[in-house]
Amino acid sequence: MAIIAENRLAVVTGGMGGLGESISTKMADAGYRVVVTYSPANTKWKQWIDDMRSRGQAFSAYPVDVADYDDCAAKCAQIRRDCGEIDILVNNAGITRDMTFKKMTKDDWDEVMRTNLDSCFNMTKQVMDGMIDRNWGRVINVSSVNGQKGAFGQTNYSAAKAGIHGFTKALALEVARRGVTVNTISPGYIGTKMVTAIPGEILDTKILPQIPVGRLGKPEEVAGLIIYLCSEEAAFVTGANISINGGQHMY
């Protein structure tokens, strides 16, 4: 696969998290210049940067409240000033506020919708005009298997993740002739720190039996899919929702 990474600038939202870290590091290994965003509430961002530097990887990092349109606009303008035009956007940032609908408050709903769905508009709006002007761009939106099949206690999360693909399909139609692709990926259970912290008994009896391949996905497998979607070979793939869930949900 020919990677056209040279001089391409990628922005990965939530790029310091479990999956975000794998995406960021794999893209850097492939030769992309990578900017990561992190929540302004993250007090360990400098430690992450130092850890990455000790592994030989240097990232630019910016605190961005992806739920706040004005903050996204200001920070993307700063990234362009500091690093150059943004060629690739990976909308990866997300949160959960899991509970049954009976217990869910309006704040629980709004917070998830703003962070997981509004963020796709807030960030993509800042980069799309430039991509169109340059006749090249990649937007990859990270959804979830639970946006496809639903999940108990996740009406807010499932709705937001399902909405991401509607956003993807409509935008892909608008920009398809301008060299810009827009795609969704929908991971299943991935072996991030959050998932592997689940008690082993629950993993073995509740989660793994749902996955036909019999294991958790690897974060680097998801990152590899994103690398493909950024490549020239993926120029004919747009408006797609690619499942990467070990066969847990097929449709």
Distance CA 180, CA 13 (A): 19
Distance CA 35, CA 58 (A): 10
32 is catalytic: no
119-134 helix and 69-83 helix, angle to the nearest 10 degrees: 40
The residue from 32, 38, 62, 157 that is catalytic is 157
Q: Which two tokens stand for residue 194?
A: 């959050």
- The type of residue at 149 is K
Distance CA 123, CA 132 (A): 15
Answer for the pair 64, 118: CB distance below 8 angstroms, yes or no.
Answer: no
Q: Which two tokens stand for residue 105?
A: 């408050």
- The type of residue at 18 is G
Q: Which residues are catalytic?
A: 157
